[in-house]
Amino acid sequence: MSVIESVLNETRTFPPNGTFVKQANVSGMAAYQAMCTEAEKDYKNFWAKQANHYLLWHSPFSQVLDESDPPFYKWFNDGEINISYNCLDRHLSTQPDKTAIIFESDEGEITKATYRELHQSVCQFANALKAQNIKKGDRVVIYMPMRIEAVVAMQACARIGAIHSVVFGGFSAKSLHERITDAGAVTIITADEQVRGGKHHPLKATVDEAMSMGGANSVKSIVVYQRSGSNIPFNPDRDVWWHEITQLANIDCEPEWVNAEHPLFTLYTSGSTGKPKGVQHSSAGYLLGTMVSMQWVFDYKSSDIFWCTADVGWITGHSYVAYGPLAMGATQVIFEGVPTYPNASRFWEIIQKHKVTTFYTAPTAIRSLIKLGPDLPEKHDLSSLRLLGSVGEPINPEAWMWFYEKVGQSRCPIVDTWWQTETGSHMIAPLPGAFTLKPGSCSLPLPGIQAAIVDETGQDVEQGNGGFLVIKNPFPSQIRTLWKDPERFKKVYFPEEIDQGKYYLAGDSAYRDDDGYFWIMGRIDDVLNVSGHRLGTMEIESALVANPLVAEAAVVGKPHEIKGESVIAFVVLKGQLPQAEEASKIILELREWVAQEIGPIAKPEEIRFGENLPKTRSGKIMRRLLRTLAKDEEITQDISTLENPAILEQLKKSIK
C-alpha cells in the first residue's frame, strides 16, 4: 500500500506545569507508564482490577473476558449489575445532598438537583415506565430537549433494564422514523417542544409525523414532557403526559439487576453510505470506560464543576453527561441552549457564573467562537477553569492555541480526546498531569488500550508513516454489535483483510511521531491522492486555518487527468464574504501560504468561499457533499441530517 503521507510539521510543545502534576490523579509519566506496563503484563487482570475498583456489583463476575466467538467479545459476563444504581444509589449514603446537576435553560433560568433528588426523579419515572408495561430488554426511543429530564429518562431506562436509543432533537421526522422502526421501540419519550437560541422547535409534532410514515407498529405509547406549554397534538389513546404518570409514582424503585453484557443502549451513527448503524453498547464494560476516563483524562476531583457541552443525542452526551460524571459523583452543568444566544459570550458567562473547572467542547464550537468574538473570553472571569477538553474532530493547532491562551489563560492543560461512538469512551488522550501536550495531537493511548497504525493488510507501518488506526485488543467499553446486523458489524469494524479480522478498525487515518504521539489525519474515506501522494484532509485544513484570515476550512479531492486528484478547498474567512477582486487576491495568498506551510503538492487548485460549511448536526464537515460540489455535480445524496442545507447553494458558485 502507498502509505498516507504526513506533511504538516507542528513543533510546539507544552510540558505539564508543576502545580497540576502535583495534584493529578495520574502524576507524571512514570505513573502512566507503570499502568501501561501492568496492563501489558496481564491485560485481563488489569481490567478486572478496574472493574472491581470502579463498579458496584450485585453479584461478582468470575470470567473477565470471553473471547470464544470473536469479534463478539464479552466482558465480566456472569456478573450482575445495574447502571442506574452505579450512578445514583451509590451516592445516597455518602453525599445525598451534593448537587448532581446545575441546569441552565435557554432563557437563563437555573435549576439544581441533588443526588437524592435525581435518584427520586429517576425512581418515579422508572416506576411510571413500568406502569406503562415497559420491561427489561424493551427499546425506548428518547427524543428530548437537553434538560435534566433527558438524563432522568435515560437513567430510568437503565434502572429497569430497558434499552434506550436517544435520537438528537435536531433530527427530522424521516431520520426519527428510521431509528424508531429499526429499534422496534415500544415507547417514545419526547417533549412538546424544544427551545434553543430563543426559538421554539416542535418535538411532539415531529414524532407524530414520524409515526404517520407507517411501519412503527411496535410503538404502544408516547410520553410527553411539557417544556414550553404550547398547544400540541395529543392523542389520548396513545399519548400520556410525563407529569401525570409520575405524579403518583412511588419514589423508590428496586433496580433491575442485569447481566454485565445486557445492552444499556443503542445509538445510531450515520455512516457515509447506507442506513444508520445502531451501535450497541453493553452495561458494565461501557460504564467502566466512562469512569476510568473521568479519572485519568479529566483528572476528576470531587470539588470539580464539570461541564461537557455535548447534547445527550450524541455519544459524548451519553458518556460524559448522562453516565460518567454521575457514576463518579460529580457536580455537572447541563445547558439547554446554544453558544451564541443571547450573544457570543454565553459559554463564558456560564463558566464564570457556575465556576466551571472542567470544560469539554468540540473544535467546531471553538472555531465558531473564535470567529464571533476572539477577545470575549478575556472579558470574563474564567479563573475557575483548571482543565479544557476537545472532542469530535481533529483540533487545528491554531484553534488549540487560542483555546489554550484565551480560554485557559495558558494555565489549563487541554485534553484532545480521540474516540468514537463505537468505542464508548476515550481511547487516545493526554493524561494531563503526565503528558507534554502538542497542539493538534491526541497524544498517547490510555492504559490498557493497544492503539496502532497499520497498512491495508494489518502490518504495522513504520513510525512516521500514515496508515489505518486500529485497536489491537478488545477493551471493555467497545461496541458489541450493530443492532440486528452482526454481519455488517463484522464487515465494517473487523474486516478480514486487516490481519484476519483480529483488529478493531476505527476508519481514521493517522500517524505517530518520534515520541509515539498519534496525529489523526482524517477519515480513511476522505484521503486524497495527489500525483501518487496520499494526503489526509486534516493537515491541509490546519495549514489553511493557521492563516490569520481563515476561520474554517475543508479540503476534498477532485478527479484530475494528470494528478489523479487535485486539492479543492472550501474556506470560511473570519471577516465578510469577499467580493470578486478581493477574493482573487486572497486565493493567491492562500495558495502561496499552503505551498509555504506544507509544500507545493498540497497547494489547492481551487478555493471557494462560503459563510459556513456543510455540517452534520453534530458539527462534522460533510466532505462527501463537498466532493460533489467540487465536481460541479448536482447533489443527490440524502441531506436530511445536514445542519445548514442553505449553505450548499453558496458553495456551488465558484469564484475563480
**DSSP state, 25?**
S
| Min separation Cβ 419 and ligand WT7, Å | 4
649: its cell numbers: 447553494
307: its cell numbers: 461541564
Nearer to ligand WT7, 223 or 308 (CB): 308
Helix (H, G, I), strand (E, B) or coil at 278: strand
Nearer to ligand WT7, 590 or 622 (CB): 622
Output the DSSP codes for 486-500: HHHHHHHHS-TTTGG
Nearer to ligand WT7, 391 or 568 (CB): 391
| Min separation Cβ 344 and ligand WT7, Å | 23
282: its cell numbers: 453493553
| Min separation Cβ 313 and ligand WT7, Å | 11
Name the amino acid, one letter, at 385: L
Nearer to ligand WT7, 65 or 543 (CB): 543
| Min separation Cβ 453 and ligand WT7, Å | 14
Nearer to ligand WT7, 71 or 79 (CB): 71
Residues 492/501, Cβ–Cβ less than 8 Å: no
Nearer to ligand WT7, 165 or 421 (CB): 421
Nearer to ligand WT7, 141 or 506 (CB): 506
| Min separation Cβ 458 and ligand WT7, Å | 19
CB atoms inside a 10 Å sphere around CB 352: 18
Element (H, E) at 103: strand 99-104
Bond prior to 363 in cis (omega within 30° of 0): no
Max intra-chain CA distance, the chain: 73
- Cα–chain-centroid distance for residue 268? 12
CA distance 234 to 268: 27
Nearer to ligand WT7, 451 or 506 (CB): 506
Kindly compute the dihedral angle of the four CA atoms of residues 125, 131, 135, 139, in this order, to the nearest 10 degrees: -60
The 3-class secondary structure across 301-357, one letter per residue, is CCCCEEEECCCCCCHHHHHHHHHHHHHHCCEEEEECCCCCCCCCCHHHHHHHHHCCC
CA atoms 338, 340, 341, 347: torsion sign: positive
| Min separation Cβ 504 and ligand WT7, Å | 12
Bond prior to 276 in cis (omega within 30° of 0): no
| Min separation Cβ 158 and ligand WT7, Å | 20
CA distance 597 to 547: 10
| Min separation Cβ 54 and ligand WT7, Å | 21
Residues 6+ apart with CB under 8 A from 200: 193, 194, 228, 230
CA distance 113 to 450: 39
| Min separation Cβ 428 and ligand WT7, Å | 8
| Min separation Cβ 415 and ligand WT7, Å | 9
Contacts with ligand WT7, residue ranges (CB under 6 A): 269, 314-316, 391-394, 416-421, 442, 506-508, 520, 523, 618
Nearer to ligand WT7, 182 or 256 (CB): 182
Q: What angle do CA 276, 142, 164 make, to 5 degrees?
A: 75
Nearer to ligand WT7, 206 or 316 (CB): 316
Nearer to ligand WT7, 298 or 418 (CB): 418
CA distance 13 to 294: 24
Residues 638/645, Cβ–Cβ less than 8 Å: no
CA distance 192 to 204: 5
| Min separation Cβ 622 and ligand WT7, Å | 12
Q: What share of the chain is helix, strand, coil (3-state, %, to 5)?
A: 35, 25, 45
With CB atoms as reference, the residue minimizing the distance to ligand WT7 is: 421
| Min separation Cβ 442 and ligand WT7, Å | 5
Nearer to ligand WT7, 282 or 420 (CB): 420
CA distance 365 to 380: 18
Q: What is the CA radius of gyration of the chain?
A: 24
Helix axes 173-183, 204-212, angle to 10 degrees: 60
